[in-house]
Amino acid sequence: MAVKMIARVTYWLGLLCVGLALISRFFNTFGFEAAHFYTRGNPVDYRSYLDGALLFLFTSIASSLYSRLNSHHTPE
């Protein structure tokens, strides 16, 4: 049950990050800094959102595969 919830939540968070990355990149092409703020390290930009999207989408894929493999009971 928890694995399926993780798969759903990370899938939607991944899609949200993809949307934010596309919007940020769109504004960046016209010279606007849509989501450009600094942290202690590097500035957060569209590339950070793409990295987050990959992390969340891979987590979603792994969780759904784990859930699918555990749902099939093998006879012993």
Q: What pLDDT, in 10s, does the model give residues 26-74?
A: 887 787 776 566 667 767 777 777 888 888 888 888 888 887 777 765 5
User: Which domain range does residue 50 map to?
Assistant: 2-71
Domain count, the chain: 1
Residue 24 lies in a domain: yes
Residue 18 lies in a domain: yes
Please tell me the predicted confidence (pLDDT) of residue 73: 59
Dist. CA 27–CA 9, nearest whole Å: 27
Mean pLDDT computed over 8-29: 82
Please tell me the predicted confidence (pLDDT) of residue 65: 80
Q: Which residues contact 63 (CB under 8 A, 6 or more apart)?
A: 3, 4, 6, 7, 10
pTM confidence score: 0.68
Dist. CA 50–CA 21, nearest whole Å: 6
